[in-house]
Amino acid sequence: MKIFLDGRFVKEADAKVSVFDHGLLYGDGVFEGIRVYNGRIFRLDEHLDRLFDSAKAIMLKIPMTQEELVKACCESCRMNKVRDGYIRLVVTRGVGNLGLNPFTCAKPTVFIIADKIALYPDKVYRKGIELITAATQRNHPNAVNPAIKSLNYLNNILAKIEAIHAGTIEAIMLNTQGNVAECTGDNIFVVRGGRIETPPVSDGALIGITRGVIFELAAKLNIPAGEAHLTRYDLMTADECFITGSAAEVVPVATVDCRPIGGGKPGPVTLQLMAEFHKLTRSEGTPIGKK
């Protein structure tokens, strides 16, 4: 495997980041997880827009232009023969000293990994995922705003640990008001009375790329959709529930805290959205080109 690291491609064994890099020392940096389908990078420009927004929010100057990052992502896929897979694009603050001051870092570090991915087993997509509610709360927007896709994921990891200890693979995170924010790595939606609803960004939800695609597909299918403050009760009593993410795609939810959602299996709206999403990903995206 070849890794893009600061402007050049190196072997996986040589893709090394300094122990003085503030991305490692303090989680100081931003990233994107991007899917590749049928030789096309799905919604690459939107991912890069979000990357630059996250970087701006933490006063991190990305040392490459958006056009240069597009080329680097495409070349990473070509170098590794990835036509269906996943891209992890990371920008760290770079090498500095052992203090917190980010301005001691001379230059940000940029690396790109293009590889295969299978986030959840096939059974989850056929029968639905089981969710639990984590005791770990989502970060308050006035602390580290969840809209920033930063390298510091400890908040989400603690909730993920709860899910694993409970015997499942994903958990719902609530905000400080007790409203549903999102899952540890995915946005969450409910279907109630024929309407699709998801928590607003102000409740701690990431501005998910796949989340945005769901709104587009809902409009195409003439299904009402929008944001709404949701509680655990709203999830438990929903007709359907599903989660979304670039790596996860669209995943039906079978149970929430041991309560079956709808019939305890993927519902008709969820199945329709899954089918339309897969159709879209096979026909849209930035071509990686030929080597």
Active site residues: 149
User: What is the DSSP secondary-structure string of the chain?
Assistant: -EEEETTEEEEGGG----TTBHHHHH--EEEEEEEEETTEETTHHHHHHHHHHHHHHTT---SS-HHHHHHHHHHHHHHTT-SSEEEEEEEE--B--SSS-GGG--S-EEEEEEE----S-HHHHHH-EEEEE-SSPPPPTTSS-TTS-BS--HHHHHHHHHHHHTTSSEEEEE-TTS-EEEESSSEEEEEETTEEEE--GGGT----HHHHHHHHHHHHTT--EEE----HHHHHT-SEEEEEETTTEEEEEEEETTEEPTTTS--HHHHHHHHHHHHHHTT-SEE----
Q: Are 170 and 178 in contact (CB under 8 A)?
A: no
